Amino acid sequence: MDHPPDEVTERLAELEERKEDATPRLFDLLYGELRRLARRHLQSERPEHTLQATALVNEAYLRLMHTHEHWRNRAHFLGIASFAMRRVLVDHARARQAAKRPGSKQKVDLEEALVLSPNRLDEIVAVDVALKKLGHMDARQCRIVELRYFGGLTAEEAAEALGVSIITVQRDWAIAKAWLHGELSGRSPAP
C-alpha cells in the first residue's frame, strides 16, 4: 500500500524527535515503492540477471543501514535508496566483468548503455565512471541524473529531494544529459 508523501514526512519528523533510526521504518512504510523502484532499475539489465527486485531492495537496505542520513522527506529517502540500488547493480556488474576479462575503454551511447544486454557489462561501468566524473565537476547535476534517470523521480520530486527549484533541476538535467552524451561518445563537453 502506498502512503501519501505527507504521511511519510510526518513519520520522519516523529522519528527524528525521538532520535530513532528511521531507515527500518521507512523501508516498511515504502516497501511497495522500493520494489517498483528496484524493478525500474532491473528493466535495463539483462533478462537473466541474477538479482531480483526483492534482493536488490534488501541489498540497498543493508547499505542504507550503515548511513547516518537524516531523511528530509519521501523524495529524499527514495532518491538515496535509488542511488544505493544503482551502486549495488554497478558493483554486481564490476564483479561479473572482472570474472570474465579485464575491462576495456570504449565509446558508449548513454541511451544504449541504459538498456543492457549480457555483453554490455563494460558499458555499465563506463556509465558509472562518467557519473563519478560528473559528480566531481558538479555534484548536483550528478545527483539529478541519479534521481531522475535511475530513481525515476519527476523533476518536482528531485527538486524537493535536493531542496532546489524545479527550474534548476530542469536546467541541470539538460546540461548533465548533454555532458554525459559527449563523455560516453568519446568527446567531453564542459558541464
Expressed in angstroms, the distance from the first to the final Cα of the chain is: 40
Residue 133: Cβ-neighbour burial (10 angstroms; 0-12, 13-18, 19+):
middle
Name, in order, each residue with C-beta under 8 angstroms of 86's C-beta and a sequence gap of 6 or more: 41, 146, 150
Average pLDDT, the chain: 76
- CA–chain centroid gap for 60, Å, is 10
Residues comprising the chain, all counted: 191
Lowest-pLDDT choice from 26-35, 66-75, 117-126, 175-184: 117-126
Region 2-27: what's the mean pLDDT? 69
Cα angle 129, 134, 138; round to 5: 155
pLDDT of res. 170: 94
Which pLDDT does position 90 carry in this prediction?
Answer: 83
**Where do the domains of the chain lie?**
5-184
Cα–Cα dist 63/32, whole Å: 18
**What integer is the mean pLDDT of 66-75?**
73
pLDDT digits (tens, 9 = 90+) for 34-61: 888 888 877 766 666 667 888 888 888 8
**Cα 10–57–27 angle (5° rounding)?**
20
90 near 107, Cβ under 8 Å? Answer: no
The helix/strand count (H/E) of the chain reads as 10, 0
Helices 74-100 + 5-17 axis angle, to 10? 90
Distance CA 19, CA 23 (A): 12
Q: Which three cell numbers stand for residue 160?
A: 524537493
Does pLDDT of 157 surpass 50?
Answer: yes
Q: What is the pLDDT of residues 92-131, one digit of tens each?
A: 877 776 666 554 455 554 444 444 444 456 677 788 888 8
